[in-house]
A and B are shown apart, each in its own frame.
Chain A
Amino acid sequence: MIVPVVSEQLYRLVVEATGMGYVAIDADGRVVDANREYVRLTGHRNLDEIRGRSVIEWIAPYEVEKNAAAVKKCAREGFIRNLEIDYIHEDKSIVPVEIAATVAAHEKSVLILILCRDISVRRSSEQRLAAMAEFEGFVEQLTSVFMALAQKDFSVRLARKEDRTQLDVLIYLVNAMIEELAVVFDDAVEKERYFASNVIESLAEMLIVLDGDARICRVNRKVLDILGFEETELIGKPFDALIGPDSGIFNAIASLGEKPEIKENAAGFVNKQGELVPVLISGRPLMADSGAIEGVVLSAKDERDSNLLRKLQSTQQQLVQTAKLTALGEMAAGIAHEINTPLAIISTLSGQLKELLDEERIENPVLKEMALSIESTSFRIARIITGLRAYSRDGSADPFSVTSIQTVLESTLSLCAESLKHHGIKLILENGSPDFSIECRLSEISQVLLNLVNNARDAVESSEERWIGISVKDRVDRVEISVSDSGRGIPPETAERLFRPFYTTKAAGKGTGLGLSISRKIIENHGGKLYLDAGFKNTRFVVELPKLHEKRI
Chain B
Amino acid sequence: MNEIDTNSWRFLGKSPAGYEIHEIEPDIYALIPPENHKETENTARLTLEFVDEVIISRGRSGALLVYADRMLSMDGGARRVYAKARTQTHNCVALLGGTSLTRAIGSFFLGINKPSVAMKMTASFEVALAWCREMNQKNGHAFEEAKS
Contact = CB atoms under 8 A, between A and B. Distances in A.
A169 B101 CA distance: 5
B142 interface: no
Interface in A164-192: 164, 166, 168-169, 172-173, 176, 179-180, 182-183
Contact of B76 (A168, A173, A179): A179
Interface in B91-125: 99-101, 104-105, 107-108, 112-113
Contacts of A176: 74, 76, 79, 104, 108
17 contacts: A162-B36, A162-B73, A164-B72, A168-B101, A169-B101, A169-B104, A172-B73, A173-B104, A176-B74, A176-B76, A176-B104, A176-B108, A180-B79, A180-B112, A180-B113, A183-B76, A183-B80
A166 B108 contact: no
Residue of B74, B75, B99, B100 with highest tally of chain A CB at under 10 A: B100
A172 B104 contact: yes
Contacts of A164: 72, 99-101
A169 B103 CA distance: 9
Interface of B: 36, 72-76, 79-80, 99-101, 104-105, 107-108, 112-113
A183 B113 CA distance: 12
Nearest to A165: B100
Q: What bracket does the count of chain A residues touching chain B fall in?
A: 10 to 19
A149 to B, nearest CB: 15
B104 A180 contact: no
Given A169-B104, A172-B105, A173-B104, A180 B76 contact: yes
Nearest to B108: A176
Interface of A: 160, 162, 164, 166, 168-169, 172-173, 176, 179-180, 182-183
Given A169-B99, A179-B76, 11 more contacts: A162-B36, A162-B72, A164-B72, A164-B101, A168-B101, A176-B76, A176-B79, A180-B113, A182-B76, A183-B76, A183-B80
Residue of A160, A166, A176 with highest tally of chain B CB at under 10 A: A176
Contacts of B113: 180
A183 B112 CA distance: 11
B100 A166 contact: yes
A162 B105 CA distance: 13
Contacts of B76: 176, 179-180, 182-183
Nearest to A184: B112
Contacts of B72: 162, 164
A160 B105 CA distance: 15
Contact of B100 (A169, A180, A182): A169
Nearest to A183: B76
A162 B38 CA distance: 10
B101 A180 contact: no
